[in-house]
Structure formats: C-alpha cells, structure tokens
Amino acid sequence: MRAVLTTPRARAERQVLAAGRALAARDMVTGTTGNVSVRRGDRIVITPSRTAYATMRRRDLVTVGLDGAVVRGTRSPSRELALHLAIYAARPDARALVHTHTPHATAWSFLDLPLRPRTEEMDYYAIGEIRTSRPAPAGSAALARAAVDVLGDARAVLLGHHGAVTVGADLDEALAIAQAVEHQAHVAWLLRGGDRAAGPLRRSAHVAPAGRRP
Ligand SMILES: [Zn+2]
C-alpha cells in the first residue's frame, strides 16, 4: 500500500484550496475575486491573484513571510495580501482569513452602519460587533489600515463599498463566520425592507381602541 505523504504544509495548502472551492461553490465570491489565507507560524499561505478556484492547484498557492516576501510559489499572491498581513500582525489569534464579496454583506458595506440587529449566529461564533471600514481602493495599504482600525477584537469586518473579511482559528471557522455574516446581513436587509413596507401598518396596530384609552 502506498503511503500518502501528508505534511503540515500540505495540509494547510489543501485547506486553502478547499476553502477557495467552497467560496466559489456557495456563490460567496464572483469569478476569481475574494481570497483565502492560513497562517502557520511565521508563514502565510494565500491564494494567488486572478485564478479560478475550481482549477486551483497546490502549486498555484503562494507562501509568504510575515513581511510579505514570497518564500514559495511562482504566482503573484492575491492583491489583498497587504490586508491579510495587516490583520495577522494585529491579531495573533487569527490563524485563517477569508475575504468574500457576498451580496448582502457587500450591500450593507455601502451604508456605514454597524451590522444590526444581531442574530443568534453572532453570539454562536462570538463574532463581536461588525463595523464597516472607510472605503479605500482594493489592494491598497489604506484599505488594510482601515480594516484593522475598525476590526478591533471582532472576528469580522465589512470593507467599505467592497465586501467582508472574517477571522478564524482555522479556515473552517473563518468560512463559517463568513456565511454567518452574510446571513446576518441578509436578515438585516429583510428587516429594513420590512420596516419600510409595513411601518405604518405596524404603528396603527399599536394604537389602542378608542374606548380603552386612558
Ligand atoms: Zn475584494
């Protein structure tokens, strides 16, 4: 029987590929947008720039040091590498990051409002307060700084006019939190729409019958 060679690095790379495929399969990104990384010690494995998730291979992934210098791989790292590096630097607890462009979270990122009301998932995953960072060009150092500024000790942040980033102890968790954030944003939008459509009706329902007024 042939033994399968599994090293910690190989496991990390397979996890990044699987998370990327999950993002694409669940429509959490459009095409080759979004990105995924995992941290092992002082190394970060990140998805490459402009590469389809479905056909991405381990050799396409890029390993960088904490300073962003490429130590393994021939492709260009994701253009949001600066964002990933800044969050890992600020959050030693972060072992994996997922960046998505899910529709409801992205829509909410144009509002500059905290993502509320909180659903059960927010507490279940201990996500904390989800705030929105100042809009900045994709891939810029300004975007990375702005995201870290508002992330604080939360496990998710909305990038202004752009999408979401989630922080996990591993990639499974970062991915689950990304789904929870999209769910939360979807619910928040439903409530906004519901408030507008049913506001007057709901208020009228709270008016006591005339004969029972004090
Ligand atoms: Zn993006």
Å from CA of 144 to ligand 1 middle: 11
Q: What is the pLDDT of residue 1?
A: 56
Q: Let me know: does 48 contact 77? Beta carbons within 8 Å.
A: yes
Number of domains in the chain: 1
Å from CA of 131 to ligand 1 middle: 16
DSSP helix/strand/coil, 118 = coil
Taking only the tens place, the pLDDT of each residue in 57-102 is 999 999 999 999 999 999 999 999 999 999 999 999 999 999 999 9
99 in any annotated domain: yes
16 in any annotated domain: yes
Q: What is the pLDDT of residue 88?
A: 98
Residue 213's pLDDT band (boundaries 50, 70, 90)?
very low
For residues 131-169, one letter each, b for 16 or more C-beta atoms within 10 angstroms of the residue's C-beta and e for the rest, the string is bbbeebeeeeeebbbbbbebbeebbbbbbbbbbbbbbbe
107 in any annotated domain: yes
Q: Let me know: does 96 contact 170? Beta carbons within 8 Å.
A: yes
- Summarize the confidence of residues 148-153 as an average pLDDT: 97
Instruction: Give the percent of the chain with pLDDT over 70.
Output: 88
199 in any annotated domain: no
Q: Let me know: does 188 contact 115? Beta carbons within 8 Å.
A: yes
Å from CA of 192 to ligand 1 middle: 25
204 in any annotated domain: no
Å from CA of 66 to ligand 1 middle: 21
Å from CA of 162 to ligand 1 middle: 6
Dihedral, CA atoms, 14, 20, 25, 26, nearest 10 degrees? Answer: 120
Taking only the tens place, the pLDDT of each residue in 182-200 is 999 999 999 988 545 444 4
Å from CA of 122 to ligand 1 middle: 22
**Is pLDDT larger for residue 205 or for residue 155?**
155
Residue 3's pLDDT band (boundaries 50, 70, 90)?
low
Q: How far apart are CA 22 and CA 135, in angstroms?
A: 27
Please state whether beta strands 156-159 and 163-168 pair in parallel, antiparallel, or not at all (unpaired): antiparallel
Q: What is the pLDDT of residue 37?
A: 98
**Is pLDDT larger for residue 211 or for residue 194?**
194
Q: How far apart are CA 151 and CA 158, in angstroms?
A: 9
Instruction: Write down the catalytic residue from 13, 80, 120, 129.
Output: 80
| CATH number for the domain harbouring residue 65 | 3.40.225.10
CB-proximal residues (5 Å) to ion ligand 1:
163
Angle at 55 (CA atoms; ends 74, 109), nearest 5 degrees: 90
Q: Where are the strands (E) in the chain, listed by range?
A: 35-40, 43-46, 62-65, 70-72, 96-100, 156-159, 163-168
208 in any annotated domain: no
Dihedral, CA atoms, 204, 205, 211, 214, nearest 10 degrees? Answer: -80
Taking only the tens place, the pLDDT of each residue in 107-137 is 999 998 999 988 999 999 999 999 999 999 9
What's the domain range around 135?
8-194
Would residue 13 show up in a list of annotated catalytic residues for this protein? no
Say if residue 168's pLDDT is above 80. yes
20 in any annotated domain: yes
Q: Mean pLDDT score of the chain, rounded to an integer?
A: 90
Sheet harboring 96-100: ordered strands across?
Answer: 70-72, 62-65, 43-46, 35-40, 96-100, 163-168, 156-159
